[in-house]
Amino acid sequence: MDRIRIVGGARLNGTIPISGAKNAALPLMIASLLTDETLTLANLPRLADVALLKRILGNHGVDMTVSGKRIGDGDLAGETVQLTARTIVDTTAPYELVSKMRASFWVIGPLLAREHFAKVSLPGGCAIGTRPVDLFLMALEQLGAEIEIEAGYVVARAPNGLRGAHVDFPKVTVGATHVTMMAATLAKGETVITNAAREPEIVDLAECLIKMGAKITGAGTSTIRIEGVDRLHGAWHEVMPDRIEAGTYAMAVAMTGGDVLLEGARYDTLARPLEILTEVGAEVTPTNEGIRIYRNGADLKPVDVTTEPFPGFPTDLQAQLMALLCRAQGTSHIRETIFENRFMHVQELARFGAEIHLDGQNATVVGVPALKGAPVMATDLRASVSLVIAGLAAEGETMVNRVYHLDRGFERLEDKLSRCGATIERIAG
Ligand code: EPZ
């Protein structure tokens, strides 16, 4: 298993190109199941989760071709992939594949809308919390599906097709909003989703679906309206930049000090975390090329933060912020409201000498004058990268084990950071 070795202490200076967003790429790729024509997606990140979804979609009958490099493409340019689901050859998404990545459960929406049948394995437990699928099932039932659970599979049938309905989510859910929006594009009549997720990835998916012929208004607000159409067609769409990757590097620069341009990053998708970074003591400047983060040697200030659905502070940046606050002068408080078990990085951060106290969903972070490098173990995607951030600022050597978690969501992290002056390398093994 690969490991990442870091020698901390260097300031970060330079430019980091931001890749296409994993959490937009996954639903966009799944949307290819809605049409028998070709959906071309540009700026797809080269990540383990994207590769796994390619296998899952291939199993349903999606043909994929990858375009070659174009003149002017840098070595970190994203991939352009044509996805064509001319015929759905298999409406079952098996346990072996779905259990590896929760988002693959989302194929249930397009399969049901187009083929009127889907059999998809329950995604099962996940390291960051129980993550049930009840709200997906509620929404699909409201669109007219009959749902049964058989031997660990969700079997969904809509013999006469789906029909528009009012879907009111009792809780904001990104995944079920994606799925309901996709399913409703081919339903008869109008669907109204209330208390919809407002995440930028929802807007990106809606924009792509509209290019494919869907009639959607309101994406990005809490009420989305979808007027069903008979069929969707092919389209070209560029995946939005990854706000979580950009926010992660922003935290890293705030932690080490330095001056970095996050090339391609969109301020509007990161307003709240960047506001927090400013409170902590970084200088944040939106530019034509992206977002510039600067911090001189000044002290970091403590803050109190609660994770919330967009536009609030994202749960996907909570671990990284916690790593940063370990070095603040004073005591910070973090409240995690989205997932019940997303503090597994706490015990690993403690190996660096961090002082963090947990009480249910609340973490108290008492800043310490210095962190010391240590061997640590990655537990999930965002937790792993918080350990990298701590390692970049710690004295001495840090070894991050189990980096396959990082490869799920961060494209060539060690290259991007070492080009900005960090001492970081991957050790194959
Ligand atoms: C998406 O997960 C993201 N994944 C997550 O990113 C992100 O942390 C999360 O949204 C919140 O922003 C992708 O986009 C691929 P939810 P999702 O449905 O859709 C509960 C990362 O690190 N819930 O918005 O699975 C659920 O348990 C990942 O990139 C139900 O109770 O999240 C959670 O408490 C991790 N029943 C809350 O809603 C349901 O049927 C929000 O989850 C569905 C969800």
Query: DSSP for 222-237?
Result: SEEEEE--S----EEE
Pocket test for ligand 1, best of 174, 193, 244, 318 (most atoms within 8 A of CB): 174
Q: Which residue, judged by its Cα, is nearest atom 5 of ligand 1?
A: 316
pLDDT at 76 over 90: no
Question: How distant is the alpha carbon of residue 262 from its chain centre?
Answer: 17
Distance CA 337, CA 268 (A): 22
Atom of ligand 1 at shortest range from CA of 131: 27
pLDDT at 216: 98
- Looking at the chain, the domain(s) classified CATH 3.65.10.10 span 3-18+298-427, 22-238
Q: Is the CB of 176 under 6 A from ligand 1?
A: yes
The verdict on whether omega for the bond into residue 302 sits within 30 degrees of 0, i.e. cis, is no
List pLDDT tens digits, range 82-130.
999 999 999 999 999 999 899 999 999 999 999 999 999 998 645 555 6
Residue range 320-338: mean pLDDT, rounded: 98
Question: Higher pLDDT residue, 22 or 2?
Answer: 22
Please report which helix (H) or strand (E) contains residue 44, including its range: strand 38-44
* Residue 135 marked as a ligand binder: yes
In one-letter notation, the amino acid at residue 119 is K
When the pLDDT of each residue in the chain is averaged and rounded to a whole number, the result is 95
* Residue 369 marked as a ligand binder: no
* Distance in Å, CA 281 to ligand 1 centroid: 30
pLDDT at 72 over 90: no
List pLDDT tens digits, range 200-237.
999 999 999 999 999 999 999 999 999 999 999 999 99
* Distance in Å, CA 174 to ligand 1 centroid: 6
CATH number among 3.65.10.10, 3.90.800.10, 3.30.70.870, 3.40.50.10190, domain 22-238? 3.65.10.10
Q: Is the CB of 338 under 6 A from ligand 1?
A: yes
* Distance in Å, CA 202 to ligand 1 centroid: 13
Note the helical H segments in 78-199. Answer: 95-98, 108-115, 134-142, 174-185
Residue range 289-307: mean pLDDT, rounded: 95
pLDDT at 33 over 70: yes
Q: Is the CB of 381 under 6 A from ligand 1?
A: yes
The pLDDT confidence band at residue 71, using thresholds 50, 70 and 90, is: confident
Give the contacts of 373 (CB within 8 A, at least 6 positions apart): 6, 7, 8, 352, 391, 394, 395, 396, 397, 398
pLDDT at 249 over 80: yes
pLDDT at 128: 58
Q: Is the CB of 305 under 6 A from ligand 1?
A: no
pLDDT at 129: 58
* Range from 68-72, 251-255, 334-338, 372-376 carrying the lowest mean pLDDT: 68-72
Q: Is the CB of 340 under 6 A from ligand 1?
A: no
3-18+298-427 architecture in CATH?
A: Alpha-beta prism (3.65)
Q: Is the CB of 182 under 6 A from ligand 1?
A: no
pLDDT at 131: 74
Q: Is the CB of 315 under 6 A from ligand 1?
A: yes
pLDDT at 334 over 90: yes
User: Which positions are catalytic?
Assistant: 126
pLDDT at 412 over 80: yes
Q: Which two tokens stand for residue 337?
A: 């409201």
The pLDDT confidence band at residue 1, using thresholds 50, 70 and 90, is: confident
List pLDDT tens digits, range 145-186.
999 999 999 999 999 999 999 999 999 999 999 999 999 999
Atom of ligand 1 at shortest range from CA of 128: 35
pLDDT at 280: 98
Distance CA 384, CA 358 (A): 19
pLDDT at 127: 58
Count Cα atoms within 13 angstroms, Cβ side, for 391.
28
In one-letter notation, the amino acid at residue 333 is H
* Residue 338 marked as a ligand binder: yes
Residue 161 φ/ψ region, left for φ over 0, alpha for ψ in the -120 to 50 degree band, beta for the rest = left
* Distance in Å, CA 175 to ligand 1 centroid: 6
Residue range 294-312: mean pLDDT, rounded: 95
Distance CA 149, CA 311 (A): 35
Please spell the DSSP secondary structure of 390-429, one letter per residue. HHHHSBSEEEEE-THHHHHH-TTHHHHHHTTT-EEEEE--
pLDDT at 292: 98
pLDDT at 24 over 60: yes
254-282 in b/e form (b: 16+ CB < 10 A) is bbbbbbbbbbbbbbebbebbbebbeebbb
* Residue 63 marked as a ligand binder: no
Quick one: the chain helix, strand, coil %, rounded to 5?
A: 35, 30, 35
* Residue 272 marked as a ligand binder: no
pLDDT at 263: 97
pLDDT at 297: 76
